[in-house]
């Protein structure tokens, strides 16, 4: 053996336990006994835009379905990132964070005090531990009533805030129960400003009070449009809901004339929203932004309730000693025609002229992503908010995204970020991955989907190959950091961005090339369908693709996800024979294992492709010889990876004669 051989992928002890208990499956789908906790929120909030002060009250019903007893519950207070003394990964505006003014558990008032003093609550950075009087047992529901207030930052870690106190994007703003899952128990971790979020799914009823003249859009469905919008606005929204073209809901003239909203009561409007089965709730408010709208058309899918046959699945699994032998049926929806999704775009004409076409980008992204994933956008609207001063790039939330103005940049830049952020509606908003521990699962999949949509909207360029270049440059320079690393633990430099976005997107394309598009697409779509509104791990992702590949792909996961090995295939020598034909030597000069595809052209006009299986390299070999028959004539050109999707760091040595690359 003359080369390193990638080790088999080992499960974490927590995942192995989940397999044994039927919470997960070797096939990659949720196990017959999969469980997750659930939370219902009822929130009342009031925003004073002039002071950027927000006060609110929330009633939380936490349904505890986990097979464990809990003496305490962990609550996220994300805005404590802006509290003096809180740990954080970078400098942040100090606002004072969250002030808890009242907290009750199951109707009993609790006070702030340390654990040794018994029931109560205490705050450590962005996490609050609540200790009820009675412990929570499986099947119990805990009611928490919390009042709080805070000052909103202008720029909350580049993910929320306000612009000139005339545009607000309110996110990570209420006390939120952390995740208790089947792999980690309490998975809630401090928010330090870099690694993102991991959330349970839940239902929300939210009441938001803002001054008259301010529009609000939020996650979920507006329950009282007639009370907050004018008749003109309601008519325009009705028109947009069935339109393929632009409908202007509000502009500078209508804002100035005060004809966008209702008058309100005592100078205030109260917007009431309801959202079901979402992992977060966010909202935006403004009294100046232009409001464009249109609608997207997607397949009207009715998905089966996969939980209804869990007893049958459990029985089948227990009858088999080999769960991998069970052929899982592919979940398919019933399609009943099409339906419309409202597309909203809020922006300022003087600051963000490129946004004049953003409504069109949002429409295309919702339609394309729905079709490519085979999972239609499930909600009634998708809202994009221009947030100059809040963010330069983009940030995603259920049914909403905030993005920079992109002033001075190209239209394609705004399209790209729109396609990316809307792509996040599938992962992690539908497929609830853990963004903190495994950022590549949502960012990589979304970067792939963004590039795929760009192929349709901006044709003529292979955006996957363009997107892979930066990753391959960093890989060649040996500056990579591994994908299987917590988002807060990357060293300064390109490591986090490459490992979270560029590399996993390129690997999706490379794996598609290995598996074949048909099998890969089945795996990709099955992963989304099977894990919709659930919380998968990397091993579920790996196992799903191996199920459809019908092969062991540990060489791929180990080489590229666990390790930062470099792949470099090269055309070594081409030795012509006196009687015709030649011996073509292909060399593997890197560490990472990958199959090779070799295209050979000869003087007799033959053009054929030779496949070098991955098992040749796994046997320890670092070279492979291809014998070209004399009847083929002289070899005139050799090209490795003619499709261009292998993650090869040096494409210059993929051609013979050297310099013959196209």
Spatial separation of the C-alpha atoms in residues 541 and 9, rounded to whole Å: 13
Q: What is the mean pLDDT of each run of 10 residues along the chain (662 residues)?
A: 85 96 97 97 98 98 96 98 95 96 98 96 98 97 98 95 98 98 96 96 98 98 98 98 98 97 97 98 98 98 69 44 57 95 98 98 98 98 97 97 97 98 98 98 98 96 95 96 96 95 98 97 98 98 98 98 97 93 96 97 95 96 96 95 96 90 62
d(CA 428, CA 315): 31
Could you tell me if 175 and 72 are in contact, meaning their C-beta atoms sit under 8 angstroms apart? no
Does domain 13-33+438-562 fall into CATH 1.10.3720.10? Answer: no
Is the separation of the CB atoms in 390 and 155 below 8 Å? yes
Torsional class of 577: left (φ above 0), alpha (ψ -120 to 50), beta (otherwise) = beta
DSSP string, 215-254: EEEESSEES-HHHHB-HHHHHHHHHHTT-SS-EEEE-HHH
CA 450/CA 506 separation, integer angstroms: 12
- To which H or E segment does residue 176 belong? strand 176-177
C-alpha distances (whole Å) from 423 to each of 69, 72, 100, 567, 592 are: 37, 36, 35, 29, 30
Extended strands (E) in 242-311 = 247-250, 268-278, 283-286, 290-302
Token pair 């993929």 is at which residue?
A: 654
On the CB side of 637, CA atoms within 13 Å amount to 14
- DSSP letter, residue 657: S
Closest by Cα among 393, 438, 556 to 183: 438
Nearest CA among 29, 10, 75 for reference residue 531: 29
Please give the distance of CA 129 from its chain centroid, rounded to a whole number: 28
Q: Find residue 623's DSSP bridge partners.
A: 587
* Count of H-run helices and E-run strands, the chain: 15, 32
pLDDT number for residue 323: 45
Domain range 569-656, its CATH number among 1.20.120, 2.60.40, 3.30.160, 1.25.40: 2.60.40
At 314 the pLDDT is: 46
Q: Report the 10 Å Cβ neighbour count for 617.
A: 24
Residue among 180, 165, 190, 167 nearest 79 (CA): 190
CA–CA separation, 363 vs 370, rounded Å? 11
pLDDT for 26 equals 96
Which candidate, 619, 69, 553, 67, places its Cα nearest to that of 541? Answer: 553
Judge contact between 475 and 647, C-beta under 8 A.
yes
- Return the pLDDT at 579: 87
Cα separation, 502 vs 448, in Å, equals 8
Give the residue carrying structure tokens 């795996």.
Answer: 523
Whether the CB-CB separation of 434 and 537 falls below 8 Å is answered with: yes
CA distances from 465 to 505, 568, 589 (A): 10, 16, 21
Which of 121, 136, 130 is closest to 63 using CA atoms? 136
User: What is the reported pLDDT for 3?
Assistant: 80
Alpha carbons 115 and 72: distance in angstroms, whole number: 10
Rounded-to-integer distance, Cα 93 and Cα 79, Å:
11
- Does pTM top 0.75 for this prediction? yes
- The pLDDT assigned to 307 comes to 55
Four-point Cα dihedral 18, 24, 26, 29, nearest 10: -170
Q: Are 201 and 533 in contact (CB under 8 A)?
A: yes
Torsion angles phi and psi, residue 379, rounded to 5: -110, 175
Residue 368 contacts by C-beta under 8 Å, 6 or more apart in sequence? 419, 452, 453, 456, 457
Q: Are strands 635-640 and 38-48 parallel, antiparallel or unpaired?
A: unpaired
Phi, psi of 281 (to 5 degrees): -135, 125
Domain 13-33+438-562 identical in fold to domain 569-656:
no
Question: How far is 495 from 485, CA to CA, in rounded Å?
Answer: 10
What residue ranges in 303-434 does DSSP mark as E strands?
A: 334-347, 381-386, 394-397, 400-403
The CA-based dihedral angle spanning residues 169, 435, 513, 628, taken in that order and rounded to the nearest 10 degrees: 130
183: nearest Cα among 435, 542, 537, 531? 537
Name which of 586, 569, 577, 573 is nearest 623 in CA terms. Answer: 586
Query: What does the domain layout of the chain look like in residue ranges?
Result: 13-33+438-562, 64-159+174-194, 569-656
Element (H, E) at 530: helix 517-530
């Amino acid at each position: 053996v003359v080369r390193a051989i990638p080790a088999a992928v080992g499960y974490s002890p927590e995942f192995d336990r989940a397999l044994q208990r039927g919470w997960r499956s070797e096939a990659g789908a949720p196990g017959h006994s999969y469980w997750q906790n659930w939370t219902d929120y009822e929130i009342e909030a009031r925003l004073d835009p002039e002071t950027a002060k927000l006060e609110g009250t929330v009633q939380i019903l936490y349904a505890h379905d986990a097979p464990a007893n809990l003496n305490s519950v962990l609550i996220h207070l994300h805005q404590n990132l802006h509290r003096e003394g809180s740990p954080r990964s970078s400098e942040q505006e100090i606002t004072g964070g969250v002030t808890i003014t009242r907290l009750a558990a199951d109707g009993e008032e609790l006070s702030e005090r340390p654990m040794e003093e018994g029931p109560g609550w205490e705050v450590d950075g962005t996490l609050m531990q609540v200790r009820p009087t009675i412990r929570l047992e499986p099947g119990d529901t805990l009611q928490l009533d919390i009042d709080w207030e805070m000052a909103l930052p202008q720029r909350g870690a580049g993910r929320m805030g306000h612009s000139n106190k005339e545009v607000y994007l309110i996110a990570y703003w209420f006390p939120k129960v952390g995740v208790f899952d089947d792999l980690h128990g309490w998975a809630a971790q401090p928010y330090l400003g870099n690694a993102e979020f991991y959330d349970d799914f839940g239902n929300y009823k939210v009441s938001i009070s803002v001054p008259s003249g301010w529009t609000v859009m939020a996650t979920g469905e507006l329950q009282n449009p007639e009370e907050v919008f004018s008749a003109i606005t309601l008519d325009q929204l009705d028109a947009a809901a069935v339109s393929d073209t632009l409908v202007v809901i509000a502009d500078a003239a209508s804002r100035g004339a005060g004809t966008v909203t209702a008058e309100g009561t005592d100078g205030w409007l109260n917007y009431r929203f309801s959202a079901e089965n979402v992992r977060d709730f966010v909202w935006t408010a403004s009294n100046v932004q232009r409001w464009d709208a249109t609608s997207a058309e997607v397949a009207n899918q009715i998905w089966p309730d996969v939980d209804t046959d869990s007893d049958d699945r459990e029985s089948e699994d227990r009858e088999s000693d080999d769960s991998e032998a069970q052929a899982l049926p592919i979940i398919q929806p019933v399609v009943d025609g099409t339906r419309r999704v409202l597309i909203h775009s809020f922006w300022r004409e003087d600051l963000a002229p490129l946004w004049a076409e953003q409504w069109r980008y949002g429409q295309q992204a919702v339609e394309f992503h729905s079709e490519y994933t085979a999972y239609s956008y499930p909600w009634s609207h998708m809202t994009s908010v221009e947030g100059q001063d809040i963010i330069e790039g983009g940030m995603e939330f259920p049914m909403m995204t905030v993005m920079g103005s992109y002033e001075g940049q190209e239209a394609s830049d705004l399209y790209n970020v729109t396609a990316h952020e809307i792509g996040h509606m599938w992962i992690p908003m539908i497929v609830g991955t853990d963004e903190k521990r495994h950022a590549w699962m949502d960012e990589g999949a979304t970067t792939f989907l963004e590039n795929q949509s760009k192929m349709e909207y901006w044709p003529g360029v292979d955006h996957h190959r363009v997107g892979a270049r930066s990753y391959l440059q960093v890989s060649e320079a040996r500056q990579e950091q591994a994908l299987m690393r917590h988002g807060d633990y990357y060293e300064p430099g390109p490591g986090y961005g490459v490992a979270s976005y560029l590399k996993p997107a390129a690997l999706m394309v490379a794996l598609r090339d290995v598996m074949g598009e048909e099998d890969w697409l089945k795996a990709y779509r099955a992963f989304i369908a099977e894990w919709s509104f659930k919380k998968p791990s990397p091993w579920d992702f790996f196992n799903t693709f191996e199920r459809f590949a019908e092969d062991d792909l540990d060489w791929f996961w180990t080489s590229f996800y666990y390790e930062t090995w470099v792949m470099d295939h090269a055309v070594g020598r081409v030795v012509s024979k006196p009687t015709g034909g030649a011996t073509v030597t292909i060399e593997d000069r890197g560490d990472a294992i990958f199959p090779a595809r070799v295209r050979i052209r000869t003087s007799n006009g033959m053009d054929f492709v030779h496949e070098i299986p991955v098992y040749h390299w796994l046997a320890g070999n670092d070279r492979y010889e291809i014998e070209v028959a004399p009847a083929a004539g002289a070899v005139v050109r050799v090209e490795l990876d003619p499709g261009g999707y292998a993650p090869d760091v040096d494409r210059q040595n993929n051609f013979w004669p050297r310099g013959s690359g196209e």
